[in-house]
Structure 1
Amino acid sequence: MQTPMQTRGQRGIALFVGLIFLVVLSIVAVIAMRGTLVEMRMVTNSARHESAFEASEALRSLPVKLFDEHVYARGWPTSFKGDVPDSEFTYSTDIPSDLLAKAKQSLQNDCGSGTPTLFYGQLQPACGTAPKETLYDPSTWRPDMIIAICDTGTKSCAGDVSAKVAIVPDGSTLSKGAGGAQAAGYRGLGIGSASGGAEMFFEIRSIATAPGGGAATTHTQYHQMIH
């Protein structure tokens, strides 16, 4: 009479213990899944930020190449709303044609004049809802170029990365020897090379975004030698 009762008790305990193990294993599985999801989100966010950072760096370097050509030709090409013939520039050999075409279309007009400043404009006054540009307050800088390019991370180029590039002048100074040459009364052709020329400084800030919410900002000072 006692044996069946003991057997029933043992079966009940085994079921209870099994349920406890099932609950514990379920909790462990849920925690592991949550950890995996967090790691996946971290990796995804890191990849998006890296994509935006690369775009910010690449598109920020575009005005630098345009600067160099501008100094050599002493002006901007007509396709950039300048007054120097395009034939005097070698942009096509330094910048991919599709990127160059986008750059020409991406120049932003000044709020007041309605024409592009071509990266050499002065700090802009307040205009409409836009505050006055202040050299040491980047939040007031207005973009000189808003450009979007294909996201190379997608096979179909379904998503684009874009950047708002703002450039503001940060002063100029005479190079070493320029002051002495001018004081000595040197004038004429070649004064720039003979006297050391001048140095111009610009602050370049690029704010880029990538598909999925990635964002990155890069900032540099561009030093240009004028001879």
Structure 2
Amino acid sequence: MWKAVLQKTIKDNMKLNPTSVYFQMSNLTDEGLPTVRTVVFRGFIAEKKPKDMSHGYWTSDLIVTTTHFHSNKVKQLLENNVVEICWYFPETHEQYRLKGKAHLVADPIHNIPPPTSLEGKSYHQHLSYTPNIDPNSAAYEIPTQPPKYDWEKERMYHFNRLKPELRASFTWPPPGQPRTEPDERFIPQLHEGDTSSVLATMALQNFVLIIIEVNHVDRCVLNCFPHKRYFYKWNMGSKTWVETEVNP
């Protein structure tokens, strides 16, 4: 429900403003204080379509962004994974505030369990199936269960999509620590073909997906009078999203 609305907002804004992929994400520090930073929207989990789509494919409403394993927020999210996104779209004058839980997908060497069991609802409940054939066809059938998800494959998919400049940043010294390294330590690029180098291994080990499981959406539409505002909440009883129009 809310995902389709958000996707349309992103599409409408990206036509005129490429910076619409940036949003602010807040969480809590070790001391329980709020901390916020700007991150890049990397899409939704399961966006890579399978080679065989003759019958259909699965998609999800799990938002993806990325971080460096040695950033402060990795430790913070492992201790308390409550997050909130604030995302303003200047071209359509809309604001989204999305609350939920953040789950990390890191290199297996870090021994961080993948998000096989999510908060609030199972991973399967975040998935929807899009059939690719005529519903009246005899072959039409919606699978009752999605396939077991390969989180490492998903992480590799996003890593390989990075530009060389951003991929290189995952080889840099731990962010936020005192600067003790020479400029040469901060390499400017790491190309996709550099898969056998020590630096490529380092970059991949430091590359972490942040999977945001949304459980509440607050959307404000400011391009009309009076303004419009909508809440989207997940109903545990009916296993559905409920939309409510509220006062702006």
Structure-1-length-normalised TM-score: 0.27
Higher strand share: 2
Instruction: Looking at secondary structure, tell me which structure has more helix per residue.
Output: 1
Structure 1 or 2, whichever has the larger Rg, is 1
Structure possessing the higher relative contact order (Cα contacts under 8 Å, 6 or more residues apart) = 2
The TM-score normalised by the length of structure 2 is: 0.25
